[in-house]
Amino acid sequence: MTVFHQGYSQCPNGQTGGQTVYDTTIATPTGITSMQLKFPKFDPHSGLVTCIRLCVTITGVVDTMSLENTSSSAQTADVFYIRNDDITGPGLLSPISNSINYHYGQYSLGPNDFVMGSGSDFISISKDTILNGVSKCVTISDTAIISQFYGTDSVTYNYNITALVSPSSSGNYNFAVGTSAFANFKFQYCTCPSSTLPINIRSFNIKKINNDKAEITWSGFDNPNATYHYEIEMSRNGRNFTSVGNQSKEEFESSAYKFLYTAQEGGGTYYFRVKQVYSNGYVRFTDIKSIELENSDKLKINIFPNPSNGVVGIKFANNYSGKFLIKISNAQGQTVFSKEEEIYGGGIRYITTLQKGMYWLKLIDVTSHLSCVNQLLIK
């Protein structure tokens, strides 16, 4: 009987550790030498992973093995069945492997009778179990490797079987092998519950200091006996966060931390949180705060006059300069004007004249591809 040793996390602050186990057995059809197996990734909102344990128990079967003497004289043959099972995938610096070199024989084979697959010159074996519940396990505890197991999709492992037969005697032979396996995979996450940071962070706040800049501040009850750092994370939808900076716990005096962020992804709502990351990979988060920012690189133009009696002029609101494609379309979506222009910030640039109607003017920076659209009324 194979025993799967379940692991439980040693969690900070005396929290109770847990484990999530996925247990599945696959049967490979005869002749199939490669299969994929998927396990769900761990949802980072559900807690923290401190270790991953993968155990594979293999029962290997020789479905068919045959050897036929094609020499004109009788032969005595030994047959060696050589097999290797490999599991590769995330977190495995080297494959989980199991190999066997199994001896069949000796076999006394008559001279070739020119009848394939039968007679005294032929031997065959079927349904022979040669790997009977052989187990191999690996435990992953490196936090840098564990990070790739967080997510909402899956991790994929490849199970590969290579097998061959080799006669160890003189003479000429035809030989073949068909192999299959029953492989039991037990995949376990050692977990700790997630928690926010009321114990180690206070006064978490965010304020706008410019149209495109935010200041994130917090104070920490820093623990001199623990190793950790802070990461500042940003999101545009309040769900998917990416790191935009980090600070060590020694970076600011009096445990008062500050981080400046400049908008890079257009105007709108920006969401922020602070993550505290311990050396063992344990993380805790602040609550989420949001603020409205504008991209400093965003194109901003004013149309003069607007409404107009026919003349169309534009002026940058932020001293932007460069080569631009100017496109004007009417209310039916038809392009009525299109031209590339070199435009420099400061002052009004007159573009064209139009007939009475409602129009849309689109300005595209040829280099950066930034663009803006303004409505124009010709009376």
Tens-digit pLDDT profile for residues 113-153: 999 999 999 999 898 888 887 888 999 887 668 877 887 88
Domain final residue pick, 259, 277, 293:
293
The pLDDT of residue 157: 93
- Domain of residue 173, residue span: 12-192
Closest-CA residue to 12 (of 223, 268, 259, 201)? 223
Residues 97 and 65 in one domain: yes
CATH number at residue 256: 2.60.40.10
Minimal CA–CA distance to 216: which of 233, 228, 200?
233
Q: Is pLDDT above 60 for 195?
A: no
Place of tokens 């980090």: 246
Where among 267, 293, 319 does a domain terminate? Answer: 293
Residue 216 belongs to some domain of the structure:
yes
Distance between CA atoms of residues 73 and 215, nearest Å = 90
**Range scoring the smallest mean pLDDT among 140-144, 158-162, 245-249, 272-276:** 140-144
Report yes or no on 89 lying in a domain: yes
Residue 7 lies in a domain: no
Residue 136 belongs to some domain of the structure: yes
Same domain, 20 and 156: yes
Q: Given a cut of 70, is residue 254 above it in pLDDT?
A: no
Identify whether residues 33 and 171 lie together within a single domain. yes
Query: pLDDT tens digit string along 283-306?
Result: 777 778 889 887 655 667 777 788
Whether residue 14 has pLDDT greater than 60: no
**Residue 62 included in any domain:** yes
What's the chain's average pLDDT?
A: 81
Q: Are 233 and 273 a contacting pair, CB within 8 Å? A: yes
**Domain boundary pick from 125, 157, 192:** 192
Residue 203: predicted pLDDT: 80
Is the domain of 147 the same as that of 181?
Answer: yes
pLDDT at 206: 92
